């Protein structure tokens, strides 16, 4: 193995970073995601130590969630426990690095779980096996027992973050539309779940058609469109109390496509009157409404830049749907999409660097990203119908709706890495559409 | 053949007439079962299809639906002919209110299709208004791609779904 390493490095250099950064240097454990990792980092995750009898039942479940989070990124690979030479029987015992090197583990994650009453405490440490030292401090998370999955996500977020240098995204939630029934009479309910499809809860009964929920930046409220009053209207729901209120109620208009500003104080949305759709903003505290566009075209799909100063949106003012940017208060509009096809549902990345969108081209639908000046367009997916991307809190992963064709066609949620790799279906109990990814939980 | 099948499907879909203030006749998740669905069951008299004053006659003989080209809201000659007949009928039967529903096919994104459906409904409303039907008798609602009547993923189904439907509301209930 050692004999071949120089050769591997030479190939890597020629192959322009098609192998992970760690393989080239054997330096500190670190992935540069931008280098296009295709060989996942092998990690060992020996069973967390149960520090009391009642913790035993959570150990395996917590390990499974941590492992699923990390391997689900496509950046990590778990070495099966059957290969381990060392056993971890005490959280604070010294680590036998040689035993983990021998099985080629790059990262070692150890942990312990204890339960006192209704409290669960999860501790973990991360080790860089090849440099033979801990990567960051050991940490512990504590909370009520029913939040055990969140504890596991927090461990995985810390591991991911320390190795990649990026923010985590596992301890986050997604609001979406849960769908049942035939294609011509779909029953749609608002629902919320963990990012990985666990803990689904329904927010509406399904009695009225609901569309496209959108998280507030603090994760405490959602905006959505409902036919509750008979006509499509934007509502805001407080997730803790489930109380809803209508946002803007004028006879003879339809309101839809809402999104919060980054400070959560303003909502930008589409308002249709007499067949024409323009963009408006509404100050949630004062109720003051401002018209942002005034054209005979369909202006919709608005999304704020992370600094709140600009809005990206779609408009068919040129004849087909294209993507435009304007100041958040309205004003001069700049077109940024110029490729062939129709561009829609632009969403500004939380990092500010990219805009994700839906593209229709030659009968196929794609999720893509481009820079905010429209350059470097990259299509990440292709199918009969992909639409409506939403960013993970760290701006590295997109979730979107993929719908299959035909009489029994139905939608599901998928995720894809911003590099276009690692396309995965998100498990949901029913058909699902219109995801909105919330913030990383505190 | 397809045309007849489509027509039959449409008839099934529009058996319900909006009979209250809520213009969403699909409320409670049920496709085409009337608007009084608060108690789960609704009933609306359709009348004798041979009676030229009946809703059934309007829906089937006059024609309650017009179709559109892809990503368009302009009314072609066939649509204009149907709408002219609708205007004539509505002028004679002035007790009925009108809700114009706009729909889109599945080959578009959700929110754009809502706006496109609104454009289509509005085009019909404006045509009827230009032919003498008071705008105060009419409302519009868009369903975007949410309520297709033809379910296949093929051009003939997309064409059937790109539609505006003129739904009558009961006298005294609009």
Return the residue of B nearest to A228 by Cα: B27
A184 touches chain B (CB under 8 A): yes
B31 contact residues in A (CB cutoff 8 A): 182, 184-185
Predicted confidence pLDDT, tens digits, chain B (174 residues):
444 544 444 444 444 444 445 778 877 544 333 333 344 455 667 788 888 999 999 999 999 999 999 999 999 999 999 999 999 999 999 999 999 999 999 999 999 999 999 999 999 999 999 999 999 999 999 999 999 999 999 999 999 999 999 999 976 544
Give pLDDT, residue A19: 37
Return the residue of B nearest to A211 by Cα: B110
pTM of the entire predicted model: 0.90
The pLDDT of residue A21 is above 90: no
- How far is it, in rounded angstroms, from Cα B137 to Cα A222? 35
Average pLDDT in chain A: 92
Which value does ipTM take for this structure?
0.90
Question: Residue B112: which of A208, A211, A314 has the nearest Cβ?
Answer: A314
Where are the domains positioned within chain B?
Answer: 44-169
Based on the number of CB atoms within 10 Å of its own CB, is A181 exposed (0-12), middle (13-18) or buried (19 or more)? middle
Contact A184 B31 (CB under 8 A): yes
Look at strands A41-44 and A107-116 and give their pairing: parallel
Name the minimum distance, in Å, from the CA of A120 to any CA of chain B: 42
Q: Residues 327 to 356 of A: which have CB under 8 A from any B CB?
A: 344-345
Contact status, residue A222 vs residue A215, Cβ threshold 8 Å: yes
Does the domain at A41-164 match CATH 3.40.50.720? Answer given as no
Does the domain at B44-169 match CATH 1.10.150.120? Answer given as no
Name the minimum distance, in Å, from the CA of B75 to any CA of chain A: 14
The residues, ordered by sequence, that sit 6+ positions from A121 with a Cβ below 8 Å of its Cβ are A113, A114, A115, A140, A141, A142
Name the minimum distance, in Å, from the CA of B139 to any CA of chain A: 7
CA distances from B78 to A258, B58, B63, B66, B85 (A): 37, 17, 11, 8, 11
**Each residue's pLDDT tens digit, A311-362:** 999 999 999 999 999 999 999 999 999 989 999 999 999 999 999 999 999 9
Give pLDDT, residue A180: 97
Contact A254 B142 (CB under 8 A): yes
Q: Residues 144 to 163 of A: which have CB under 8 A from any B CB?
A: none
Contact B106 A344 (CB under 8 A): no
Q: Residues 141 to 160 of B: which have CB under 8 A from any A CB?
A: 141-144, 146-149, 151-153
Q: What is the mean pLDDT of residues A196-202?
A: 98
A329 three-state secondary structure: coil
Contact A274 B122 (CB under 8 A): yes
Where are the domains positioned within chain A?
Answer: 41-164, 172-440
Contact B149 A184 (CB under 8 A): yes
Contact B148 A345 (CB under 8 A): no
B146 contact residues in A (CB cutoff 8 A): 186, 209, 211
Q: Which residues pair with A315 in a beta bridge?
A: A299, A322
B111 touches chain A (CB under 8 A): yes
**Each residue's pLDDT tens digit, A141-188:** 999 999 999 999 999 999 999 999 999 999 999 999 999 999 999 999
CA distances from A32 to A10, A425, B143 (A): 19, 25, 45
- What CATH architecture is A172-440? 6 Propeller (2.120)
**Each residue's pLDDT tens digit, B58-77:** 999 999 999 999 999 999 99
Contact A321 B73 (CB under 8 A): no
Lookup: tokens for B68? 């559109």
Tell me the CA end-to-end span of chain A in Å, nearest whole number. Answer: 44
Question: Residue A207: which of B29, B71, B125 has the nearest Cβ?
Answer: B29
Give pLDDT, residue B21: 58
A402 touches chain B (CB under 8 A): no
**Each residue's pLDDT tens digit, A240-284:** 999 999 998 888 899 999 999 999 999 999 999 999 999 999 999
Based on the number of CB atoms within 10 Å of its own CB, is B101 exposed (0-12), middle (13-18) or buried (19 or more)? buried
**Each residue's pLDDT tens digit, A174-185:** 999 999 999 999
Question: Residue A256: which of B26, B29, B111 has the nearest Cβ?
Answer: B111
Return the residue of A nearest to B117 by Cα: A275
Name the minimum distance, in Å, from the CA of B120 to any CA of chain A: 7
Contact B118 A277 (CB under 8 A): yes
Contact A300 B112 (CB under 8 A): yes
Contact A184 B13 (CB under 8 A): yes
| Cβ contacts from A onto B, under 8 A | 133
Contact status, residue A112 vs residue A95, Cβ threshold 8 Å: no
């Amino acid at each position: 193995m050692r004999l071949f390493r120089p050769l591997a490095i030479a190939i890597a250099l020629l192959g322009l970073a098609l192998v992970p950064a760690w393989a080239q240097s054997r330096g500190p454990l670190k992935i540069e995601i931008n280098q296009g990792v295709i060989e996942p980092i092998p990690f060992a995750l020996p069973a967390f130590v149960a520090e009391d009898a009642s913790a035993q039942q959570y150990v395996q479940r917590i390990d499974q969630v941590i492992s699923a989070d990390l391997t689900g990124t496509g950046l990590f690979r778990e070495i099966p426990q059957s290969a381990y030479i060392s056993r971890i029987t005490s959280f604070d015992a010294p680590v036998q690095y040689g035993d983990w090197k021998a099985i080629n583990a790059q990262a070692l994650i150890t942990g312990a779980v204890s339960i006192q009453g209704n409290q669960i405490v999860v501790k973990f440490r991360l080790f860089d096996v090849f440099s033979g030292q801990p990567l960051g401090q050991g940490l512990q998370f504590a909370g009520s027992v029913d939040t055990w999955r969140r504890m596991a996500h927090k461990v995985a977020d810390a591991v991911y973050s320390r190795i990649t240098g990026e923010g985590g995204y596992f301890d986050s939630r997604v609001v979406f539309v849960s769908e049942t029934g035939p294609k011509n009479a779909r029953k749609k309910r608002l629902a919320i779940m963990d990012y990985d499809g666990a803990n689904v809860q329904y927010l509406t009964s399904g009695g009225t058609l609901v569309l496209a929920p959108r998280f507030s930046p603090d994760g405490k409220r959602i905006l959505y469109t409902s036919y509750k009053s008979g006509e499509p209207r934007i509502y805001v729901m407080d997730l803790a109390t489930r109380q809803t209120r209508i946002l803007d109620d004028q006879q003879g208009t339809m309101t839809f496509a809402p999104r919060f500003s980054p400070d959560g104080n303003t909502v930008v949305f589409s308002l249709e009157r007499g067949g024409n759709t323009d963009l408006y903003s509404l100050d949630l505290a004062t109720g003051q409404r401002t018209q942002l566009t005034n054209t005979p075209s369909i202006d919709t799909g608005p999304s704020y830049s992370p600094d709140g100063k600009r809005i990206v949106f779609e408009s068919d003012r040129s004849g087909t749907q294209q993507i435009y940017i304007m100041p958040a208060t309205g004003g001069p509009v700049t077109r940024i999409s110029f490729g062939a096809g129709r561009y829609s549902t632009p969403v500004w990345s939380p990092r500010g660097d990219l805009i994700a969108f839906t593209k229709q081209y030659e009968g196929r639908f794609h999720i893509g990203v481009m820079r905010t000046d429209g350059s470097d367009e990259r299509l990440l997916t292709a199918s009969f119908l992909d639409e409506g991307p939403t960013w993970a809190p760290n701006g590295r992963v997109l979730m979107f709706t993929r719908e299959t064709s035909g009489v029994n066609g139905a939608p599901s949620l998928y995720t894809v890495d911003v590099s276009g790799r690692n396309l995965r279906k998100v498990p949901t109990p029913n058909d699902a559409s219109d995801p909105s990814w919330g913030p990383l939980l505190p | 053949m397809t045309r007849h099948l489509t027509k039959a499907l449409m008839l099934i879909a529009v058996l319900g007439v909006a009979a209250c203030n809520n213009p969403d006749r699909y409320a409670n998740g049920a496709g085409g079962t009337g608007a009084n669905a608060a108690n789960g069951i609704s009933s609306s008299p359709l009348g004798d299809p041979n009676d030229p004053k009946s809703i059934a006659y309007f829906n089937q003989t006059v024609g309650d639906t017009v179709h559109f080209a892809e990503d368009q809201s302009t009314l072609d000659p066939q649509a204009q002919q149907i709408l002219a007949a609708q205007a004539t009928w509505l002028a004679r039967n002035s007790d009925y209110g009108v809700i114009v529903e706009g729909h889109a096919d599945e080959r578009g994104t959700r929110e754009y299709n809502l706006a496109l459906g609104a454009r289509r409904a509005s085009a019909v409303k404006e045509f009827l208004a230009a032919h003498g039907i008071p705008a105060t008798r009419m409302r519009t609602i868009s369903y975007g791609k949410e309520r297709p009547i033809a379910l296949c993923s093929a051009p003939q189904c997309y064409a059937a779904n790109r539609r505006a439907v003129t739904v009558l509301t009961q006298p005294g209930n609009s």
